């Protein structure tokens, strides 16, 4: 009987998890929508129709219009690009920093580990969202600054996770054998330890994208995130707040988009975690 590969076993378990598959479908649909935004968008994101200001959903504008007569559906489709870009770039920055510090702390130990872990502990005592607000207060609000700030304030969990994985993996037989054969620390870290420590990091990164989307939406809602006229689900919600009594669609549809996106990434992340959990094999 042919032995199944780890990837085959992972895929078999993942397919049996209907919630994880649902999350994957949501994420794929968001990707397609964001990449092909010009094809799906009925209007330009900043096209103004002065004869259709604050119009409720109808055949021409399925999700209504805003206070300048811009099509909400078109702005939300282009806003998906912003959310995905912030999520991936911010999580990418946080993951790289977390892997670097966690790997050094977990592999070398000693005073280096203590120093890094105490720094992580200090960072964790500061509420992340208020830290982001404080940093944004000193820099110009822009999409790139938002990405960088979220990334620079969200690496602590990844670092602790990588450090724990390195502490476990570096004591395994194949790592000890490589060290006995004279392999350098760099070769052992990248060739033997890191490659076997990345599965939990992948799960953390997927879940982190959902958190980054929420943070970006919150910052844009407060007016210190993505700045108009660039479309963002958060700044569309701000318009909804200002016109809540006469334009319910400006709050409902962006809120649903954020909810579905975060739910999709959370379901996908949980599904990946369950599929790679060795206790389920």
pLDDT for 187 equals 85
pLDDT tens string 111-160: 999 999 999 999 888 887 888 888 877 877 778 888 888 898 889 999 99
- 3-class DSSP string for the chain: CCCCCHHHHHHHHHHHCHHHHHHHHHHHHHHHHHHCHHHHCCCCCCCCCCCCCCCCCCCCCCCCECCCCCEHHHHHHHHHHHHHHHHHHHHHHHHHHHHHHHHHHHHHCHHHHHHHHHHHHHHHCCCHHHHHHHHHCCCCCCHHHHHHHHHHCCCHHHHHHHHHHHHHHCCCHHHHHHHHCCCCHHHHHHHHHHHHCHHHHHHHHHHHHHHHHHHHHHHHHCCCCCCCCCCCHHHHHHHHHHCCCCCCHHHHHHHHHHHHHHHHHHHHHHHHHHHHCHHHC
pLDDT tens string 74-116: 999 999 988 888 889 999 999 999 999 999 999 888 899 999 9
Judge whether 30 lies within some domain: no
Q: Give the total number of structural domains in the chain.
A: 1
Q: Cβ(135)–Cβ(193) under 8 Å?
A: no
pLDDT for 21 equals 93
pLDDT for 4 equals 57
86-to-125, 142, 167, 180, 220 alpha-carbon distances in Å: 24, 11, 31, 44, 12
Buried b (16+ CB within 10 A) or exposed e, 92-114: bbbbebbbebbbbbbbeeeeebe
Judge whether 197 lies within some domain: yes
Judge whether 35 lies within some domain: no
Q: Rounded to whole angstroms, how far apart are CA atoms 220 and 75?
A: 14
Residues 6+ apart with CB under 8 A from 84: 30, 31, 34
- Among residues 128, 156, 271, which one has the least CA distance to residue 206? 271
pLDDT tens string 185-234: 888 888 888 888 888 888 889 989 999 999 888 888 888 888 888 888 98
Judge whether 34 lies within some domain: no
pLDDT tens string 1-58: 344 566 787 788 888 889 999 999 999 999 999 999 999 998 989 988 888 889 999 9
* Domain residue limits at 205: 81-280
- Among residues 90, 79, 34, which one has the least CA distance to residue 212? 90
Judge whether 36 lies within some domain: no
CATH number at residue 203: 1.10.3720.10
Judge whether 103 lies within some domain: yes
Judge whether 55 lies within some domain: no
Is the pLDDT assigned to residue 268 strictly greater than 70? Answer: yes
pTM recorded for the entire structure: 0.86
Judge whether 65 lies within some domain: no
Q: What percent of the chain has pLDDT over 90?
A: 36
């Amino acid at each position: 009987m042919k032995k199944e590969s780890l990837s085959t076993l992972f895929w078999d378990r993942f397919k049996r998890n209907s919630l994880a598959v649902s999350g994957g479908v949501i994420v794929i649909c968001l990707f397609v929508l964001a990449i092909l935004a010009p094809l799906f968008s009925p209007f330009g994101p900043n096209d103004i129709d002065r004869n259709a200001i604050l119009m409720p959903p109808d055949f021409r504008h399925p999700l209504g219009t805003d206070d300048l007569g811009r099509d909400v559906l078109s702005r939300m489709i282009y806003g998906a690009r912003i959310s995905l870009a912030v999520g991936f770039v911010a999580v990418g920055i946080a993951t790289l920093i977390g892997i670097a510090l966690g790997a050094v702390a977990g592999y070398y130990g000693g005073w280096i580990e203590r120093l890094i872990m105490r720094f992580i502990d200090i960072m964790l005592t500061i509420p992340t969202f208020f830290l982001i607000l404080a940093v944004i207060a000193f820099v110009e609000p822009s999409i790139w600054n938002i990405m960088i700030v979220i990334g620079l304030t969200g690496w602590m969990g990844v670092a602790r996770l990588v450090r724990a994985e390195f502490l476990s993996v570096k004591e395994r037989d194949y790592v000890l054998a490589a060290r006995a054969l004279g392999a350098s620390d760099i070769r052992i870290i990248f060739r033997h330890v890191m490659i076997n420590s990345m599965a939990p990091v992948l799960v953390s990164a997927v879940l982190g994208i959902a958190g980054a989307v929420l943070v970006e939406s919150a910052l844009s809602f407060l007016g210190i995130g993505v700045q108009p006229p660039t479309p963002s689900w958060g700044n569309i919600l701000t318009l909804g707040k200002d016109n809540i009594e006469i334009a319910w669609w400006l709050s409902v549809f962006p809120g649903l988009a954020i909810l579905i996106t975060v739910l999709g990434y959370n379901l996908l992340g949980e599904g990946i975690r369950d599929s790679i959990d060795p206790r389920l094999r």
